[in-house]
Structures are given as structure tokens and as C-alpha cells.
Chain A
């Protein structure tokens, strides 16, 4: 008896066996690490996707790094990342807190509210494209002239339309994360605060927000790194246009590879994308502090 308790305590201290990670590691190696090196190799070659792959030194890299379109794509990506974070983070936090309560009407609202989460990006993009059409869309259809803007054809406007549609699609997801986070906060904290005479707003800033620190970091990481991967929605909605105004880095990579058939340059862009993504993820994890992996729950 005593030996078995001892060994299980040792297991607890050491954590679960490393072998449990083996299947995931194998898949990660096969589908992430090996292709990554493949892309790195391709970035030093010239290949049109059809003929022979020829080593070509740094020429793809010089093409990509001197092309103003790449700089523009980075700038557009940064703008979309910034604006979608600014729009999505506070909205999903507030909505998450709101829907975490247990009243029936909130549950019903939450269910309705999560509908965009169920739709594929392509479907969302096609629907919005039809709604925003300046000649046949919502504005002319309802006879509302202010809605009959050229939403997707105006270079100054289109970026914000894209940010809006992205937010419409992804805010429910982050709301769900925050909802879960809020429900993890022990009710005793609120009860104690109430006894001390704290109001709702005070409770939010003194308890909810600090307790959600790690949830905020998780959600922000997903939001920021995820915005490097917005592709399908933008591809269908605007095709990167008008001009280059919504040509994000991943879209630029796709168009370089599969429209201009320059796989070398596209691979170089892919490598840049990976490096930026890793750097951002590391940075956000740093913000979480040193004991970020420690549990917050009482008694654990």
C-alpha cells in the first residue's frame, strides 16, 4: 500500500510520462517541421511549379525583400492585426463576462450569438460580398443610400470592412474563451467583495480582470498570431484588392506562388511569415510572466 502511494506521488511530482506526447510529436514532425525545412530549401531555388527545381542562391530572397509589394503586404498585415485586436479584444471580454452569468435569457442570447462560429470563412465572405454589393446589395435593396457605399471597392474603406467581417466571425470564439475563464473564477471572491461593499464595476476591475490575466494572454495570442493567417476570408471577399489594399502577407504568398508561379519567392515569404508568427507568440508568452504555467486555482 505504502509503496503504491509513494510511486503515484512521484508520478504527480514528475508530471505525466513524456511518451504521452509521442503521437503529437510524430504528427508535428511530419506535417510541420519537415515541410518547414522543405519551404526553407525551396526559398533558395527557382521553380515555376511545373519544371525542374533549380538552385538559385539568394535571388528569391532579394526579389522578395526588394519588392515594394512585400513591404506593403507587411504593412497591411500589421494594420489588420492592430485594428482587429483593438476591436475584438474588448468586445469579446465584455461579451464573455456578460454571457457567463446563468440567467436563461443570457443563455439564449449566447446560443444565437455563437452562430457565426459555425459558418465557414468562405460562406461568410460570399454572404458579405453579396450584402455589400453597391449595385445589388443591402443598401440599394433596402433603399438606404448610406449603406450603398462601395464598401469593397474603396481603397480607404475596404480595410475596415475586412476588420469588421473578421470581428463578426471571430468575436464569438474569443467570447467563448472568456466565458470559460470567468466561470473559473471562484464565487467566494465575489461574495467577499460584496460583503466589503464593492459595486459591480469595482468587482469587474478588482476581481474579474486580474483573474482573467492568463485568459487574456491566451486569447490575445490566438488573435494576434491568428491574424497572420487570415487568408480564406480575405481571398474570397476582396481577392487582396482593390489594388494592393488588402493584400495580406499570406495572400501575397499564395498569389506569388500560385498565380505568378514563383514558388521560390513564395517560399521565402512563407519563411518570413513563420518567423514573424513565432516571434509574436514568444513575445506574448513573455508578457504572461515567469510563473505563467502555475495554476491559479485555490488549493492546487
Chain B
């Protein structure tokens, strides 16, 4: 018995040692081959743009071994928690990946990210490479704190052309047409809309677009400006009622509230023909191009802008979504880390190779003068569509959960989830959200 216990103890110790050494391998990873303790550090997101960023950093590190950047990747939701905790504890990366908006403002208020205004002013090349409408999302109180680092990501209404042909339908141009399609698809045994409800943020795309179409961009601008009672705008209530009508009509796929968008299960419903449409960000084109190559290549994927609402004040060309992702530079980084980071921002990112790699992955870089490159891409239809959508939009509203403060954003997503589940009424939503203004 004693012998056995000793042996299992030895096995346990060995197992622990193995797992520790494995963990050590994991944390060093492929990216740390370059760099030393004082290298600039960068945290990126897994998925869509991961290979593009990895290639860009690899090329930079090869050409600038003295200013090497150490790169690690994290999953979206996990990253958002980790980076904030790390920055708060003084362990954050040199490059802080972000979305702009209220979350960026909370970093600025806490003095955690560097003011890049002087850098932008003295490097007109950097400033001029961006679409101005995108660049301004990194500006807070007239100062630049974040620079766009990848592609424009408007929210698009995607549809499966095959199932539309099957029931002889056209993509909806108005909300009434959209509602009329619901019973037709249901009768054919196809879910009208896929939705990653467990992740909550896909729910938000519906509210953003409906409020935009009904009341125009001012409604949310007032909310973001923390005006008292801003959620009471009638457009918000009407949008919430329309969402609940669509839920009542059976508009969303069976079990939508247990479908997670992070595992791309919501897109799978679309390309497998189980759902006819999905309202999602421009970035899912990249993953569908990978996961359902034939579906995309054979032109079965359709896309339109969000339908107009009759009597609505908003321009149907207005767009919501993410103008881009951004790099901020940590104000706590050492001078050499900051220098390396700014040098990379100046001449390492959006190189011709980077821009081409983004386009090849099915994304639209936020830089100017890329029309001819987009036209040469096999994905030119979608890319030109997205580029035009972003460039010609009279208003491009940043995703609300990023535009608001984290406390407001979290309350909004939780309550919107309740709206989709029909646990609360639009009136309850409005009064709860009014109470969060200024928090």
C-alpha cells in the first residue's frame, strides 16, 4: 500500500512537472523567438486577422531585430477581460488592442494610454494613409490615443441565395418585406434568421440598426453623450417592440439563446442552409471563406444593407459596426518599448504586403487608395461592396457596447438579452437603461 502511494505520488509529481514545462512552452510560443525583456509586447486576437498580424510582425522582426516586437494571441472575450486586468495591475502589453469609444476613454481617463497627437502631427504619412472617418474613432477630446490597425467592419445582412431561390424570395429591402419573409421560410422548414444569442453582442446589432433606421444617428449620439433620459427616445421603444414582434413571429433559429457566436455556430446555420439570413459583422466573411469555401466561392452567399423602416428618419445608407480595430500605446511602457512601437506603427504596419494579406483574407483595410487592389481580388464583389458601404455612409456608428462605458455596456447587453427572451418589456428596458446614464 505504501509502495503504491509512493508510486502514485511520483507519477503525480512527474505529471505536474510535465504540465509545467508544457505550460512554459505555451507561454513562450513561436512569437517570442525574437526579442528580449525590454522588447515591445503586443497582444492580438485569434481568428480572422491573426495570420495577417503574425506575418506582419514576423517581417518586422526580421528586418528590425533591434526593435523586435513580442506577439501573443488571445480569444476575443478572454482578451477583453485579460487586458484590462493586466493593464490595471501594471502588467499590460506595449500595444493595447482596442475598438475605440467609451472603453478607450476609460483607458485615457486612467492615464494608461499615450497621447499620440504629436506623433500623428509629425508623421503626415501615417495620418494620410487612413480613411478620415475611421481615424477619428481613435480621437478623444481632440487628442489621438489610438490608430486603426486592420479592416473596416460594418454590420451586414447576409443571406443564403440557395434557400432564397428555393422559396422564390428576394432579399428584403424594407422591414415589412423582412417580416413577410418569416412565415414563408418557416413553412419551408428553414429558420428565417440565425443569431448567436448566448454571446449577447449579436443581439445588439438588431437594436443598433433598428434605432438607426427609425430615429437616425442622433438617438444614440445623445445616449453616448450621457444626456439624461436619452434612452426614452421613442425610436428606442419602437425598435425594441419590433425585435419582440420578430421573436414572436418565430424569426430566429430554434435555440438562438444557446448559440455562441465565438464558436461560429451562428454562421454555420447560414451556410448549411438551416437558416436563411444572419445579421453579423463584416468579419464573418473572412471565417466563412475559410470554413465554407465552396459556399462562398460558388456565389451562394448574398449580402445587403439593413432594410429601411417605413416612416423612419434614418438614411438607409447609414452604417453601424466597427470602423476598425486600433492600437494604443501603453503610457507605462519604457522609452525603448515606446520607440519600437511607434516605429512599427510608422513603417511596419499597412506595408504593401500587409494590405495585400488583409485583402487576400477577405477583409477591407482602412487605408486610402486601395480600390485597384480590391478590384483585383477574387472577393472583389464583397470587398468593393463593404468599402463603398463604409466610404459612402453618411453616418458610421460604433458598436454601442464599445461606444458606452463598460458598466453601461454590460447592463445594456444583459437587458437586451431579456428583451429577446421576452422577460422584460421595452418600457422596462428604457427605464433600467436610463438609470445607468453617467455610470
Chain A residues near B (Cβ < 8 Å): 48-52, 69, 129, 132-136, 150-153, 155, 158, 238-239, 241-244, 255, 258-262
Which of chain B's residues has its CB closest to A69's CB? B414
A145 to B387: give the CA distance in the assembly, Å: 44
Q: A150-B258, A153-B255 are in contact. Are A136 and B410 (CB under 8 A)?
A: no
Q: Which of A132, A135, A151 has the most CB of B within 10 A?
A: A135
B81→A150 contact, CB < 8 A: no
A52 to B106: give the CA distance in the assembly, Å: 12
What chain B residues lie within 8 Å of A153 (beta carbons)? 197-198, 255-259
A133 to B194: give the CA distance in the assembly, Å: 14
A260→B112 contact, CB < 8 A: no
Interface SS, B side: helix
Partner of A48, one of B110, B111, B253: B110
B255→A134 contact, CB < 8 A: yes
Say if the beta carbon of B18 comes within 8 Å of chain A.
no
A262→B407 contact, CB < 8 A: yes
B87→A243 contact, CB < 8 A: no
A155 to B87: give the CA distance in the assembly, Å: 36
Which of chain A's residues has its CB closest to B111's CB? A51
Say if the beta carbon of B164 comes within 8 Å of chain A.
no
A49 to B411: give the CA distance in the assembly, Å: 17
Chain B 396-424 residues near chain A, CB threshold 8 A: 406-407, 410-411, 414, 417-418, 421, 423
Q: A50-B84, A153-B197 are in contact. Are A259 and B110 (CB under 8 A)?
A: no
> 10 more A-B contacts (CB under 8 A) besides A135-B259, A241-B258, A242-B257?
A48-B407, A51-B111, A129-B258, A129-B260, A133-B255, A150-B258, A153-B198, A241-B197, A241-B198, A261-B84
B38-79 vs A, Cβ < 8 Å mask (1 yes, 0 no):
000000000000000000000000000000000000000000
A129 to B87: give the CA distance in the assembly, Å: 32
B421→A242 contact, CB < 8 A: yes
| Top 8 closest pairs, chain A to chain B, by CB | A153-B258, A134-B255, A51-B110, A152-B258, A150-B255, A260-B410, A242-B257, A153-B257
A287 to B179: give the CA distance in the assembly, Å: 61
Give the interface size class of chain B.
35 or more
For residue A129, give the distance in angstroms from its CB to the closest CB of chain B: 8
For residue A235, give the distance in angstroms from its CB to the closest CB of chain B: 11
A49→B253 contact, CB < 8 A: no
Q: A48-B110, A49-B85, A135-B274 are in contact. Are A243 and B410 (CB under 8 A)?
A: no
What chain B residues lie within 8 Å of A69 (beta carbons)? 414
Say if the beta carbon of B269 comes within 8 Å of chain A.
yes
Say if the beta carbon of B175 comes within 8 Å of chain A.
no
What chain B residues lie within 8 Å of A150 (beta carbons)? 254-255, 257-258
B257→A49 contact, CB < 8 A: no
Say if the beta carbon of B107 comes within 8 Å of chain A.
yes
Q: A50-B88, A238-B198, A241-B198 are in contact. Are A261 and B258 (CB under 8 A)?
A: no
Which of chain A's residues has its CB closest to B84's CB? A49
Chain B 92-109 residues near chain A, CB threshold 8 A: 106-107, 109
Partner of A135, one of B107, B269, B411, B418: B269
Which of chain A's residues has its CB closest to B268's CB? A136
A262 to B257: give the CA distance in the assembly, Å: 26
What chain B residues lie within 8 Å of A238 (beta carbons)? 198, 258
Q: A50-B107, A238-B198 are in contact. Are A135 and B255 (CB under 8 A)?
A: yes
For residue B259, give the distance in angstroms from its CB to the closest CB of chain A: 8
B84→A258 contact, CB < 8 A: yes
For residue B396, give the distance in angstroms from its CB to the closest CB of chain A: 26
Say if the beta carbon of B167 comes within 8 Å of chain A.
no
Say if the beta carbon of B188 comes within 8 Å of chain A.
no
What chain B residues lie within 8 Å of A52 (beta carbons)? 110
A66 to B258: give the CA distance in the assembly, Å: 29
Partner of B106, one of A50, A242, A255: A50
Chain B 255-295 residues near chain A, CB threshold 8 A: 255-260, 265, 268-269, 274
Partner of B258, one of A151, A255, A260, A262: A151
A260→B109 contact, CB < 8 A: no
Q: Which of B198, B256, B260, B417 has the most CB of A within 10 A?
A: B198
A259→B406 contact, CB < 8 A: yes
Partner of A260, one of B107, B110, B257, B406: B406
A133 to B268: give the CA distance in the assembly, Å: 12
For residue A231, give the distance in angstroms from its CB to the closest CB of chain B: 14
A242 to B424: give the CA distance in the assembly, Å: 13
For residue B83, give the distance in angstroms from its CB to the closest CB of chain A: 10
A-B contact pairs, 19 of them (CB 8 A): A48-B110, A48-B407, A50-B110, A51-B106, A51-B111, A135-B254, A135-B274, A136-B268, A151-B258, A153-B197, A153-B257, A239-B199, A241-B197, A241-B200, A242-B258, A242-B417, A243-B421, A259-B410, A261-B407
Q: Which of A158, A238, A239, A262 has the most CB of B within 10 A?
A: A239
What chain A residues lie within 8 Å of B269 (beta carbons)? 135
A243 to B419: give the CA distance in the assembly, Å: 9
Partner of A243, one of B110, B259, B418: B418
B258→A133 contact, CB < 8 A: yes
A258 to B87: give the CA distance in the assembly, Å: 13
Q: A239-B198, A242-B417 are in contact. Are A50 and B87 (CB under 8 A)?
A: yes
Which of chain B's residues has its CB closest to A53's CB? B88
For residue B3, give the distance in angstroms from its CB to the closest CB of chain A: 19
B265→A136 contact, CB < 8 A: yes
Q: Which of A136, A258, A260 has the most CB of B within 10 A?
A: A260
A78 to B197: give the CA distance in the assembly, Å: 26
For residue B204, give the distance in angstroms from its CB to the closest CB of chain A: 14
For residue B374, give the distance in angstroms from its CB to the closest CB of chain A: 34
B410→A152 contact, CB < 8 A: no
A151 to B110: give the CA distance in the assembly, Å: 43
Q: A48-B110, A51-B109, A243-B417 are in contact. Are A259 and B256 (CB under 8 A)?
A: no
A151 to B268: give the CA distance in the assembly, Å: 19
B81→A259 contact, CB < 8 A: yes
